[in-house]
């Protein structure tokens, strides 16, 4: 069985397809998925989605570093939301210098610090996004004592040196569909070297579909193909990758503490 540690099922790509997406999860042996927040405006939609599928889905709460014109979270607000029973993590958060130079992004670094402080206070792990900003990401994690919260470097695309630094402060490393791409040699190297007890797998749906679905709209059920790519690189059975990454997920995040949905009384 597998767990998708990072997806975005609340996005419009899934609005008309959710029953089929959930059916594919079941068919592929994917028992759980973490629906990751990217704005506070989207939070009610994620909350309602997760509450409608207790046991199958969990949620995070946070604001992605790419979004400027959105509600800016405070530590108190994130902590309050993190106490909701469907929330198992803070994020996704981090730094992204891909579209804008780092010297213009003080607001992004401050937002990142807010999330780390909230995670420490709420005692919930962080989901970290980093793009073209790896050294600053590691620096801020250290400065804000993020090891007290723990977390995961999601959709990891950096080299082994950055992976090692993240591991040194207690973080997990998550492989996405990129690990199945033929030319992703840096990611392949990291996937071979990360200690198995610190490895997670994800889809980042609807993005980054793995081979053999590359270019299509990704979905949580296809995390099984991410596991298969990792298994080939490490020369171990895919079932072992599934078992270990599921255990790692539960150790880091656990599952949403939601009651089962009770059937409506008969008329």
What's the rounded Cα separation, in Å, for the pair 38 and 12? 13
Please answer whether residues 96 and 66 qualify as being in contact, where contact means their C-beta atoms are separated by less than 8 angstroms. yes
Number of domains forming the structure of the chain: 1
Binding residue per annotation — 247?
no
| Residue spans of the chain under pLDDT 50 | 262-265, 267
pLDDT of residue 147: 98
**Residue-level pLDDT at 262:** 46
Give the CA count within 13 Å in the CB-facing half-sphere of 220: 32
Helix axes 223-234, 238-252, angle to 10 degrees: 110
Q: How high is the pLDDT of residue 104?
A: 74
CATH number of the structural domain spanning residue 209? 3.20.20.140
Residue 128 counted as domain residue: yes
pTM here? 0.95
Confidence (pLDDT) at 261: 54
Rounded CA-CA distance 13/218 in Å is 9
Residues in the chain: 267
Residue 129 annotated as binding site: yes
Q: What range does the domain containing 234 cover?
A: 2-257
The pLDDT, as a whole number, for residue 259 is: 76
Instruction: Assess if residue 266 is contained within a domain.
Output: no
In a domain, 267, yes or no: no
Cα atoms in the 13 Å half-sphere on the side-chain side of 140: 22
Specify if 60 maps to a domain: yes
Ligand-binding site membership of 115 (annotated): no
Strand partners, 205: 7
Using alpha carbons only, what angle is made at residue 97 by residues 72 and 117, rounded to the nearest 5 degrees?
40
Say if 263 falls within a structural domain.
Answer: no
Q: Are 193 and 220 in contact (CB under 8 A)?
A: no
Q: What is the pLDDT of residue 264?
A: 46
- The answer to whether 64 is a known ligand-binding residue is no
């Amino acid at each position: 069985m597998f767990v998708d540690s990072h997806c975005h099922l609340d996005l419009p790509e899934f609005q008309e397809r959710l029953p089929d997406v959930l059916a594919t999860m079941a068919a592929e042996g994917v028992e759980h998925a973490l629906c990751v927040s990217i704005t506070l405006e989207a939070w009610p939609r994620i909350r309602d989605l997760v509450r409608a599928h207790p046991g199958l889905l969990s949620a995070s709460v946070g604001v992605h570093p790419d979004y400027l014109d959105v509600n800016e979270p405070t530590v108190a607000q994130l902590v309050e939301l993190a106490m909701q029973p469907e929330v198992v993590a803070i994020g996704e958060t981090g730094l992204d210098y891909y579209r804008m130079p780092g010297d213009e992004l003080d607001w992004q670094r401050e937002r990142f610090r807010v999330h780390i402080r909230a995670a420490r206070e709420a005692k919930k792990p962080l989901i970290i996004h980093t793009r073209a900003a790896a050294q600053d990401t590691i620096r801020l994690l250290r400065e804000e004592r993020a090891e007290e919260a723990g977390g995961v470097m999601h959709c990891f695309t950096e080299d082994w040196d950055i992976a090692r630094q993240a591991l040194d402060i207690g973080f997990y490393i998550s492989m996405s569909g990129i690990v199945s791409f033929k030319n992703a040699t840096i990611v392949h190297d990291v996937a071979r070297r990360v200690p198995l007890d610190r490895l997670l797998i994800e889809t980042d749906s609807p993005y980054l579909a793995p081979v053999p679905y590359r270019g299509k709209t990704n979905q949580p059920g296809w995390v099984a193909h991410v596991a298969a790519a990792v298994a080939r690189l490490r020369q171990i059975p895919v079932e072992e990758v599934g078992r270990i990454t599921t255990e790692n997920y539960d150790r880091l995040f656990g599952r949403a503490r939601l009651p089962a949905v009770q059937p409506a009384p008969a008329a």
